[in-house]
Amino acid sequence: MHPNIWKPFTILKGAQEPLKVKSGEGLWLTLEDGQKIMDCISSWWVNLHGHSHPRIAGAIHRQAQTLEHVIFANFSHEPAETLAARLTDKLPGNLNRVFYSDNGSTAVEVALKTAWQYWKNKAQNRKKFIAFEGAYHGDTIGAMSAGARSVFTQVFHDLMFEVEYLPYPETWIGDKDIGSREDEIIEMLENKFNRHPEQYAGIIIEPLVQGAGGMKVCREDFLQKLHWVNRQYDTLLIFDEVMTGFGRTGDWFACTRAQVEPDIICLAKGITGGFMPLAVTVSSDSIYEAFDTDDPMQTLWHGHSYTANPLGCAAALASLDLMEENEASFRGMENIHREEILSIATRDRVERVRVMGTIAAFTLKSDGESGYFNKIADEIKKKCVRYDLLLRPLGDVVYLMPPYCITREELRVVYKNLGALLNDL
């Protein structure tokens, strides 16, 4: 690799030489030496329809020849307007106000700033956020503050604001007492609210699946209980669906699968099918109303130079078309995962098997510390290419999150090769 590149999320000393990718088509990536591997993680969870999809590529091409970008403050453009209308059609009824930015972290920053200022605008002094243990909301300071504390955030501790944490009610196939664990967490939440009424600005959660925290799955029931308590105590519920949005959980959004209406939703990653950086933070009408004044002190002062980039919006519109034309591709994957993962689930070292929509994951028992720095992850990252797989375990958690274009047969091959890889560890 060129020495002038500083790689993200990489311990520099002793880092493996990265594999250079020449091209991509559908599920497959072609490496420089000509080998083809299957992208089982949708390239950090962004790719929905496979690589280099001609429909999205064509939409970007046409848009680039029409209008590549324009300032989005006192100007507007068709792709952004159409996208806002189509997104709000798909989202729960109350979520109607679309704020554009360009990545998941900024979508979360906007959500936190909106929630914070909402209460100020309503002359209430609510200063606390509740988040979940193991949460990941992005790497900018605010988004990092709302996430779990870890080795990744430790050095920035003094820069971050504090939040209060609740356990994430993770569950797995065969888990028997999840209902009572959920109730305990809900009780902890009610206790917080009772002890400090009207101090909490909001709760932020990755609904149904905690991504970077280890593909931990929770139930729809928990989100419904959480929503109910939130309503009783009149705080804001923020769904960070940066990863779970756009079909990942087998429905359009985690909130539609769980039939819960959050007050704010953050969307990024899959929004353009993995082609362009784009994000939205969508707020309810009642939140928007609190900002709809001529008072500069009650205005949301936030924006980015690439806000609502037309190329990103055009890609997002093409991606929505593809999703609408083939809903079965993301709705049907859960059943295939459930069948195919049986061949893996019976192994001694495999525990806590979970499936949610297009995502399947399990924990691999191994020596050494559990969690992100488990050595097994490095071993799998090194060896997976031999089995034509692109995998990137989160410590001892191995997961599959393929693009929706994967065929049943290809997914079967992925599981077969993964089984062979596990034998080789």
310 makes contact with ligand PLP (CB under 6 A): no
* Contact between residue 341 and residue 353 where contact means Cβ atoms under 8 Å apart: yes
What is the nearest approach in angstroms of ligand PLP to the Cβ of residue 147? 8
103 makes contact with ligand PLP (CB under 6 A): yes
170 makes contact with ligand PLP (CB under 6 A): no
136 makes contact with ligand PLP (CB under 6 A): yes
Contact range with ligand PLP by CB under 6 A, out of 69-77, 156-164, 240-248, 376-384? 240-248
211 makes contact with ligand PLP (CB under 6 A): yes
Q: Which residues contact 86 (CB under 8 A, 6 or more apart)?
A: 317, 320
* Contact between residue 89 and residue 272 where contact means Cβ atoms under 8 Å apart: no
Cβ proximity to ligand PLP, 276 vs 384, nearer residue: 276
What is the nearest approach in angstroms of ligand PLP to the Cβ of residue 91? 17
Pick from 53, 77, 137, 227: which binds ligand PLP (CB under 6 A)? 137
The DSSP annotation for 369-388 comes to --STT-HHHHHHHHHGGGGT
Two tokens, residue 146: 């709302």
312 makes contact with ligand PLP (CB under 6 A): no
What would you report as the CA-atom Rg of the chain, rounded to the nearest whole angstrom?
A: 21
What is the nearest approach in angstroms of ligand PLP to the Cβ of residue 278? 10
42 makes contact with ligand PLP (CB under 6 A): no
Distance of CA 159 to the CA centre of its chain: 24
Query: Which residue matches tokens 């997002």?
Result: 316
Contact range with ligand PLP by CB under 6 A, out of 100-108, 306-314, 362-370, 377-385? 100-108
What is the nearest approach in angstroms of ligand PLP to the Cβ of residue 280? 12
- Give me the amino acid identity at 26: G
Q: Which residues contact 108 (CB under 8 A, 6 or more apart)?
A: 137, 138, 140, 142, 143, 146, 204, 240, 242, 266, 281
What is the nearest approach in angstroms of ligand PLP to the Cβ of residue 333? 19
Site string for ligand PLP, 318-357 (x = CB under 6 A): ----------------------------------------
Pick from 105, 121, 145, 171: which binds ligand PLP (CB under 6 A)? 105
- Give me the amino acid identity at 59: A
The whole-angstrom separation of Cα 316 and Cα 310 is 10
The whole-angstrom separation of Cα 201 and Cα 199 is 7
Contact range with ligand PLP by CB under 6 A, out of 63-71, 133-141, 322-330, 390-398? 133-141
The whole-angstrom separation of Cα 227 and Cα 236 is 9
108 makes contact with ligand PLP (CB under 6 A): yes
Q: Please report how many Cα atoms fall inside a 13 Å half-sphere around the Cα of residue 385, on the Cβ side.
A: 15
245 makes contact with ligand PLP (CB under 6 A): no
CB count within 10 Å of CB 154 equals 8
What is the nearest approach in angstroms of ligand PLP to the Cβ of residue 389? 21
280 makes contact with ligand PLP (CB under 6 A): no
Angle between helices 54-66 and 310-325 in degrees, nearest 10: 150
248 makes contact with ligand PLP (CB under 6 A): no
The whole-angstrom separation of Cα 281 and Cα 176 is 36
What is the nearest approach in angstroms of ligand PLP to the Cβ of residue 272? 11
Q: Where are the alpha helices (DSSP H) in 298-398?
A: 310-325, 328-331, 333-340, 342-345, 375-383
Strand positions, DSSP E, 3-61 = 21-25, 28-31, 36-39
255 makes contact with ligand PLP (CB under 6 A): no
| Range 181-210, binding ligand PLP (CB under 6 A) | 206
The whole-angstrom separation of Cα 250 and Cα 356 is 7
Pick from 26, 134, 138, 402: which binds ligand PLP (CB under 6 A)? 138
278 makes contact with ligand PLP (CB under 6 A): no
| Range 60-99, binding ligand PLP (CB under 6 A) | none
Two tokens, residue 311: 């190329």
What is the nearest approach in angstroms of ligand PLP to the Cβ of residue 301? 21
The whole-angstrom separation of Cα 317 and Cα 295 is 34
Cβ proximity to ligand PLP, 163 vs 336, nearer residue: 163
Cβ proximity to ligand PLP, 138 vs 357, nearer residue: 138
- What DSSP state is assigned to residue 107? H
What is the nearest approach in angstroms of ligand PLP to the Cβ of residue 240? 5
The binding site for ligand PLP (CB under 6 A) comprises: 103-105, 108, 136-138, 206, 211-212, 240, 242-243, 268-269
